[in-house]
Structure 1
Amino acid sequence: MPTARAARRAVTRLGAVVLTGALLAACGGSSDADSADGGNGKITVTVDLFGSFGYKEAGLYAEYEKLHPNVTIKQTDTEDEADYWKSLQTRLAGGGGLADVQGIEVGRIATVTQQQSDKFEDLKKYGAESLKGQFAEAKWAAATGRSGEVLGLGTDVGPEAMCYRTDLLKKAGLPTDREELAQRWSSWDGYLELGKKYKAKAPGKSAWLDSVGSLYSIMIGQQKERYYSASGELIWDENPALLEAWDRSVEAAESGLSAELDQWSPQWNQAFAAGSFATIPCPAWMLGYIKGQAGDAGQGKWDIAKLPGGAGNWGGSYLAVPRAAEHKKEAYELIKWLTAPEQQEKLFRKVGNFPSSTGAIDKVADTTDPYFSDAPIGRIFGDAAKAAPVQVLGLHDQSIAQQITNALSEVERKGTDPDKAWENASKGVANTLG
């Protein structure tokens, strides 16, 4: 997951461990008062997520419950990560209404490590330090607090590619071969130029891409420094890479290449099945979302090609245990299992969430996806993951990104002058940061 917004994401992750009798005992059957529901030895571990992490869809909850007959998993989720985060902040402040497991989007993890380490369990007390070697170094480091606390376990990462509708491109007289397209749009200039050719012969009322917000998000995901410098300085309004992403997104809007859809809105969801756009920048976690929205009728109409402008990362998440959780130990055992290499491999093969586990990445290299015209998704996303920069994560990344995409939506939907929209974004960031 989701993730742009957070990417959302759409967001996703997992792994399987050989469970010994000792582990089974640790995961269930506890006689502690705070680990049993109703005093019958059975417990319900609650999980609160955003977007689509894919655990239920991939059958992982059912598998875990079978391995642990005394555990029932109850998941709640919010589609929009911004809404989820706002609600989570309210509950963290009040100390009530928190699930045993809470999802944290990568754009928020710096807030957790720098400002909220007292709100989440240090997973080292449950043995998490032994898992460090399973994860990419950057993924592990991002969830490590200033005093060395381990505040979450990584689910997926969001290597980027471009998803496209072969049927729509064919009707517009454009190539559909993924290798040829990768060459034609090797740069973002090439991508926009091809989009203008598509617009000239677009079938029906279809657009080149879903929204300029998704274009901006995927482009900024290609950069090491985005909103903050490596030294922690706020640089968003003078970062050349960010300004370039803004300008290209404005160009797409003013050229009429966008379907003008708000990501994660009901209209955006419906557009996948309706064929309202020909291309969509897609991190790996987006694949499961596309399948869910486009349905069986979309199988074979979609394909995936290398992203214009080089590799990047958009999204990826963590699973954390609040200090106010009712079943802390059982929650840790669940997230340890869900993020283990075996489960992360299963999750990618079934729903497309790319592993953050180093042990799982090589195992999925040969994966293809029949829904996406047998695209070699293991190779495409694996190459992108290896080439993507290690991003600088800042305290307010997600909030700044939201203000910028809101401003781009003004240009796209209302025809607001780009300079005025940038001014609005600057005011929004200033208000957000206080």
Structure 2
Amino acid sequence: MRPFRARRSAALGTTVLAAALLLTACSSSGTTGSKDAADGKVTLTIDLFGTFGFKETGLYDEYSKLHPNITIKQSDTQDEGQYWQALQTKLAGGGGLADIQGLEVGRVASVVQKQADKFYDLKTLGAGGVNDGLVPWKGAAIKTADGKVLGAGTDIGPEAICYRTDLFKAAGLPTDRTELAAKWSTWQGYLDLGKQYAAKAQAGNAWTDSAAGMFTAEVGQSKVRYADESGKAVYDSSPAVKTAWDDSTKLVADGLSAKLPQWTPEWNKAFSTGKFATLSCPAWMIGYIKGQAGDAFAGKWDIASGPGKTGNWGGSYLTVPRTAKHPKEAAELIQWLNAKEQQVKLFTKQGSFPSSTGAQAEITSVQDPYFNNAPIGKIFSESAAAMPAQVLGTDDGVVGKAFTDALGEVERTNTAPATAWQHALDNVKKANGN
């Protein structure tokens, strides 16, 4: 799940953790099934990045009504990169971890291959079947070679394009989602329409938010991106990466980018100021837009199938660290949150596209009033049906960030694309200690 909506700061995670530690102080045991107090009350702590939507859709409240002894306290960090760094620090120190920790798909291979001993095998907690019924590759990605289930798959990220109908009208562009999907059926078509927009748009209104967003969406349409099936790093020679890079730098050269770093306060504010008219839009971005743009922009946003009508951007997992105070209760909550019924609610209310095949079958007719009653169930279901089961490498998160950071150099410091490309390669090597 990638990053989304209004979130709390990383500091809040420390506050919540401190409260949880105070509650557990009277308990002599941190073992499975331990309680916070003599009355059997349990406070489960959950640390996430972005907005998974559990709180926003009322799922925590619903679970607590079903389990009156359970109180759920969530902390979250806006930027997944910052979240990951903090998680690594806590894992290395052995403390400060919540009962449940979120994990972005780009980090999965690294955890499975390098840090499996830091997380519970959910089979030992009675949740070994938590990924049954999901699209096969979702559960496979979080399972070790010897069969340990290290996490529960949440959403997946089929792609589309979100756009501002009011800005399109002002620039003389069509707003019909079917017509637009035909015009930008390829990334070159998307760039061409962007030029038409830029020719008539008001000053300060760019075609899209950033080159990084376009790059991530385009590279997400390929099965092999940063590593091949053998696990070998191929990011420096990958046709998918090079094509996405060239298209994204062309976007900058044509003056179509608002040059806004994603997940920053400036980017968040731009959702309601009209600084960009389109956005590469995985399903989970729907909730982010609503949270940042607010009710005043309901009906001004719409959604259309994007270039290629597919793509795979994001998706997350829930894990139970070995230091969890309440691993049994955490595993039970994870199972409930990931059940088909809850995944349907998350998509209907938040836009988080289900990894459960049963849930997918139930959401095909869903429309979203905020986005002009866009048939989001149909659009994202079609994208999901064609999305590639990506090969995941241990350094996917590092590589993806290196390239998007380098595109930021092209946008904001006028660095030549060839120079920025080399910076990306150098930064991957530095991150790996080379």
TM-score by shorter chain over 0.5: yes
The amino acid that maps onto 1:413 is: R
**Which residue pairs with 1:255 in the alignment?**
254
Q: CA deviation at 1:39?
A: 2.3
Structure 2 residue aligned with 1:28? none
Does the CA contact (< 8 Å) of 1:9 and 1:315 recur in 2?
A: no
How far apart are residue 381 of structure 1 and its match? Answer: 0.4
CA distance in 1, matches of 2:55, 2:120: 24
Report how far residue 9 of structure 1 moved: 4.8
Matched ranges for 1:68-147 at <5 A: 68-147=67-146
Q: Are 1:425 and 2:421 counterparts?
A: no
Contact 2:5–2:289 (8 Å) recurs in 1: no
Q: Is the 8 A contact 1:161 1:380 kept in 2?
A: yes
Following TM superposition, by how much is the alpha carbon of 1:131 offset from its aligned partner in structure 2, in angstroms? 3.5
Q: CA deviation at 1:220?
A: 0.7
Structure-1 residue corresponding to 2:202: 203
Q: How far apart are residue 234 of structure 1 and its match? A: 0.8
CA distance in 1, matches of 2:58, 2:308: 36
User: SS of the residue aligned with 1:297?
Assistant: helix
Equivalent residue number for residue 366 of structure 2: 367
Q: Distance in 1 between matches of 2:120 and 2:4?
A: 24
Alignment of 1:26-425 (within 5 A): 33-34=29-30, 35-425=34-424
Q: Deviations over 1:122-152 (max 9, x none)?
A: 0011233334432110000000012110000
CA-CA distance at 1:38 after TM superposition: 2.7
Q: Report the secondary structure of 2:322's partner residue.
A: coil
- Provide TM-score, normalisation by structure 1: 0.93
Contact kept, 8 Å, 1:108 with 1:395, in 2: the verdict is yes
- Aligned-CA RMSD value: 1.3
- Provide the rounded CA distance (Å) in 2 between the counterparts of 1:131 and 1:118: 19
Deviation sequence 1:30-80 (CA, Å, 0-9, x none): x99432113221010000000000111000000000101000000010000
Counterpart amino acid of residue 180 in structure 2: L
Cα distance in 2, alignment partners of residues 362 and 240 from structure 1: 34
Q: Are 1:60 and 1:338, in contact at CA under 8 Å, matched by a contact in 2?
A: yes
Q: Matched residues in 2 for 1:277 and 1:71: separation?
A: 43
Cα displacement string for residues 370-403 of structure 1 (whole angstroms, at most 9, x for unaligned residues): 0000000000001111100110000000100101
Between 307-316 and 93-102, report the one with greater CA deviation. 307-316
SS of alignment partner, residue 120 of structure 2? coil
Would you say how many aligned residue pairs link Structure 1 and Structure 2? 410
Q: Secondary structure at the match of 2:236?
A: helix
State whether residues 368 and 378 of structure 1, in contact with CA within 8 Å, keep that contact through their aligned partners in structure 2. yes
Distance 1:130 1:345, change over 3 A: same
Q: Structure 2 regions of 5+ residues with no counterpart?
A: 7-26
Distance in 2 between residues matched to 1:155 and 1:226, nearest whole Å: 22
Distance 1:79 1:36 in 2: 31
Post-superposition offset of 1:232 = 1.1
Whole-angstrom CA distance in 2 between matches of 1:175 and 1:432: 45
C-alpha distance in structure 2 between counterparts of 1:65 and 1:245, whole Å: 45
Q: Distance in 2 between matches of 1:267 and 1:143?
A: 34
Alignment-derived partner of residue 5 in structure 1: none
Tell me the distance in 1 between the aligned counterparts of 2:40 and 2:414: 60
2:96 alignment partner AA: G
Bigger RCO (CA 8 Å, 6+ sep): 1
Gaps of 5+ in 1: 3-7, 12-30
